[in-house]
Amino acid sequence: MSLVAEYDAASPTLVLGPTLESFPALEVELERQYALDPDRPVAFCWMGGVDADRLEAGLAADETITEVERYETAADRILYRVRESERNAVSAYREWVRLGAELLDASGTNGHWEIRMRFPDRNAFATYHDFLEANGIAFDLHRLSDGDRTGHDDVVTPRQRDALRAAYEMGFFDVPRETTLGKLATELGISDQAVSERLRRGQSRLLEQHDF
């Protein structure tokens, strides 16, 4: 039976780790990732919460990536294409592919990555955990659940669930709204951008489970 793991990971050797450490307010959302060369995967990431010039200077100095290309600009964030460094980043991508795992969701903020990943079984998860530990990557497990469960609690991450619950309880979804994004951010202790991302992604994941 497959297993879904939700955890935080942090290290200056993880891809974009130095940038996340340099800019605690940065919000990164992984849109997709692929690799023709498994040692140098390419990632498309939305980034926001930091001035673009400062951010791009930080990305240029980040040794875990070798290429940075601006792809698209939205109102409050930018889509970048980045390639992982073969020499200066831990090859987590190669390891989880080797184990038959699947990356379901990844976002970065406040110096760390928030990860949701599906493993074929508990042994594969344990092996991947050992790999991260052996490479000095800080690991904080939040939840393990059976991969074949489809309840709402398994669709959204704990942080998305907390944001959705707070938004509902504080009247954010009421008409007219009884609270603001800023007040939600204060309640959760995160930035306005982070609240917006978690609500959007949480709602998207819930809607994906229904056939419209």
User: Do 139 and 8 touch, CB atoms closer than 8 A?
Assistant: yes
- pLDDT for residue 210: 60
Q: Can you tell me the distance from the alpha carbon of 152 to that of 111, in angstroms, rounded to the nearest whole number?
A: 28
What is the pTM assigned to this prediction? 0.77
Residues facing 10 on adjacent strands? 138
Q: Can you tell me the distance from the alpha carbon of 134 to that of 123, in angstroms, rounded to the nearest whole number?
A: 16
Cα distances from 185 to residues 33, 43, 48, 180, 182, in angstroms, run 29, 28, 16, 9, 5
What one-letter code names the amino acid at 209?
Q
List the structure tokens of 203: 């709602």
pLDDT at 148 over 70: no
More confident residue, 207 or 131: 131
Q: Can you tell me the distance from the alpha carbon of 9 to that of 17, in angstroms, rounded to the nearest whole number?
A: 9
Q: C-alpha dihedral over 24, 50, 20, 91, to 10 degrees?
A: 160
pLDDT tens track for 2-28: 899 999 999 999 999 999 999 998 989
pLDDT at 154 over 70: no
CB-based burial of residue 16 (10 Å sphere; 0-12 exposed, 13-18 middle, 19+ buried)? buried
Residues found in the chain: 212
Q: pLDDT category, 185, cuts 50, 70, 90?
A: confident
Q: pLDDT category, 66, cuts 50, 70, 90?
A: very high
Instruction: Select, from the ranges 143-147, 152-156, 189-193, the one with the highest average predicted confidence (pLDDT).
Output: 143-147
Q: pLDDT category, 57, cuts 50, 70, 90?
A: very high
- pLDDT for residue 1: 80
CB-based burial of residue 14 (10 Å sphere; 0-12 exposed, 13-18 middle, 19+ buried)? buried
3-class secondary structure, 58 = helix
Residues above pLDDT 70, as percent of the chain: 94
pLDDT at 58 over 70: yes
What one-letter code names the amino acid at 185?
A
* Residues 6 or more apart in contact with residue 191 via CB below 8 angstroms: 25, 27, 49, 109, 185
- pLDDT for residue 149: 53
- pLDDT for residue 150: 46
